[in-house]
Amino acid sequence: MAGDDMGVAETLTAWPHAEHSRFADVRPHHWHIQEMGQGETVLLLHGASGSTHSWRDVMSNLAQDHHVVAIDLPGHGQTRLGSRHRSSLPLMAQDVQALIEHEGWQLRAILAHSAGGALALRILQKSERRIPLLAVNPALTPFKGLAGVLFPIAARVVALSPIMARMIKRKMSGPGQVVSLMETTGSKISPEGLNLYAKLFRSDAHLDGTLLMMAQWKLDGLVADLPDITVPCTFLIGENDKAVPPQSVRESAEKLRDATVQPFEGYGHLLHEEAPDLVADQLRDVLRRYT
């Protein structure tokens, strides 16, 4: 491994469920995939700046009776970008769909978190089958006001500037900074979880991929399409979420044709890491409803 960057060797020796990791070259990216369990296939999609690690406990639970697949999104974790211009929502959806088809996964459901919820909606929107979505604190609305204009521009500037990217990396990767960053989610996660995020934030490739996603991610088209989307959706809301306002999730659900909301007091944006068994059981409930 060069410098502090997290390489393949570390994934295979020190990452959660490393024994279930494999890699696939499906244009344009080099994908990191984790698979475990037998039965109907459930795909897990993390959010911006996350990776497969955030599903570690949910995977162990669901793998008792399902075939569980978790992937690192392009530029995140161990998935290496094949193009720096395909981190937008529509293009990432195309690339994940290409991976699904290449691997022959017949999805029974998608479980997604935050920005992964928007990605899942775009994928399922085009499916000929009625595949349900369970989304944890889905981020389905753009930033409002001036922040909605300035934030993508700032991310783009940083993504194109190696010096600024290194400055942010140093700021984010310190133990104290990781704790502070997690506090902005409204969640309290384990020391193991904090250490895993610290490793991610020390990765140049992961930071680069996160910034590129933030710079290219636009939700206006998805927001306009919400009233026409027929995907059966269940949204889990951590009422203490400080990253995605719970009210914004409720408003998105009201625009969709088939969406229900399940609120949970005392949990934040990383509800799936705080209460993995609860989330796994919620998925089983969804599957029972949409047989």
pLDDT confidence bin for 2, thresholds 50/70/90: very low
CA–CA dist 196, 288 (Å, integer): 33
- pLDDT at residue 106 above 80? yes
First-to-last C-alpha distance (Å) of the chain: 46
Percentage with pLDDT > 90 across the chain: 71
Return the H-helix or E-strand segment holding 22. Answer: strand 21-26
The residue written with tokens 């133990």 in the block is 175
- pLDDT at residue 14 above 60? yes
pLDDT confidence bin for 148, thresholds 50/70/90: very low
CA–CA dist 95, 39 (Å, integer): 25
pLDDT of the residue at 207: 84
* pLDDT tens-digit series, residues 155-164: 555 555 665 5
* pLDDT tens-digit series, residues 89-103: 999 999 999 999 999
Contacts of 49 (CB under 8 A, 6+ apart): 76, 200, 206, 210
pLDDT of the residue at 229: 97
pLDDT of the residue at 145: 47
pLDDT of the residue at 184: 86
What 3-state DSSP class applies to 108? strand
- pLDDT at residue 175 above 70? no
* pLDDT tens-digit series, residues 36-74: 999 999 999 999 989 999 999 999 999 999 999 999 999
pLDDT of the residue at 158: 53
